[in-house]
Amino acid sequence: MKKTYISRSQFGGDVQGKQVGLFSLSNGSGMEVQITNFGGKLVSLMVPDSNGRFADVVLGYSTFAEYETGNPYFGATIGRYANRIANGSFELDGMTFQLAKNNGANALHGGPLFGFHNVIWDAELFECDGNPRGLRLFYSSKDGEEGYPGNLKVYVTYSLSDNNELSISYSALTDRPTPLSLTHHSFFNLRGAGDGDILGHRLMINADAFTPIDSTQIPTGEIRKVAETPFDFTSFRTIGERIADNDIQLEYGHGYDHNFVLRGGCSADGQLRLAAVVLEPESGRSMEVLTTEPGLQFYSGNFLDGSDIGKEGRDYGHRSAFCLETQRFPDSPNQSHFPNSILMPDETFNSQTVYRFSR
């Protein structure tokens, strides 16, 4: 009997006129991914350790109702613009556009109502003859939604290979110039979701520089070398090794919550480049992050406080997960020397990120 590698089940009722489902992908080695079309969210990610034991390595919830009221970014697809935009505004073609201010004085992750983490996507499973298998998501964002210009058509494809690679591909088209930065926002713990903190995870980031922030976590515009700072992850360091150092950037971020300038910049040829590697010594699990994007936001779970009760009743305590979000630089619409983040009507936005697991 042929093994079933893709399936769909009901996850919630009709929301925004669309059915909320839970979509499962698996591969020949037993790795399994579950995704909901509510926010394009990765609900679970089962990965083997060095002894072949599987654990769910992403934070999330067991029910749709919990996703409606809990942390809105667990496993989410983020857009129109990942990260922060200063004062929730930008100028484009001589016009000023005002966005919702949902992070103090700033706009965060596309807005609170129609940020892509909070909408219902059209969804379609697919399977090739052998490898890979996946899920296609589509959302049509209307002109003026959350203050952004242009009718935007967005496509996101999750695919899972037999090499334990979870690939996320993005494409988009617009009828007006608009800022665009799409990312994936899983909260990872390679020991297992809810299984202690991540301070002992060993991290390498393929970046010689980062973008310092001000007290509101907006980039100052400086591109600063990581050498001789707590932000130097050019060779493997544990996440907790320098997180409590007396450093104003760590103070502003409440730990690590910064954009790293990846070597090689934006991949014009669409070729994936290594962005980061994470090793978890106890389980033996490792995760490589490859991307075509120029930036990587490293977030060390600073605002997790145990108030979120997740899958299997586990509480997600302080620094119990990390995020590695590939992206255009934060506040790029207001900082002309940052990599371009404006999508034009005669262009197609294309981006890809791969999370590759091994043990």
Please name the residues in contact with 323: beta carbons below 8 A apart, sequence gap of 6 or more: 185, 186, 187, 188, 297, 298, 299, 301
Q: How many helices (DSSP H) and strands (DSSP E) are in the chain?
A: 2, 27
Q: What type of residue is 294?
A: P
SS3 for 248?
helix
The chain-wide mean pLDDT, for the chain, equals 95
Residue 313 DSSP code: G
* Res. 213: pLDDT tops 80: yes
Residue labelled with tokens 């964002």: 141
Alpha carbons 234 and 163: distance in angstroms, whole number: 26
Q: Which residues belong to the active site?
A: 185, 325
CATH classification code of 6-358: 2.70.98.10
pTM: 0.96
SS3 for 172?
strand
Identify the CA nearest to 290 among candidates 199, 206, 182, 164: 206
**Across 25-29, 43-47, 53-57, 129-133, least confident range:** 129-133
Residue labelled with tokens 């992070």: 103
Alpha carbons 306 and 175: distance in angstroms, whole number: 43
Domain borders along the chain are 6-358
What is the per-residue pLDDT across 154-205, written as a single tens digit (0 to 9) for each? 999 999 999 999 999 999 999 999 999 999 999 999 999 999 999 999 999 9
Alpha carbons 44 and 58: distance in angstroms, whole number: 6
- The 3-state secondary structure of 52-88 reads CCEEECECCCCCHHHHHHCCCCCCEEECCECCEEHHH
Band (130; pLDDT cuts 50, 70, 90): low
What is the per-residue pLDDT across 282-327, written as a single tens digit (0 to 9) for each? 999 999 999 999 999 999 999 999 998 999 999 999 999 999 999 9
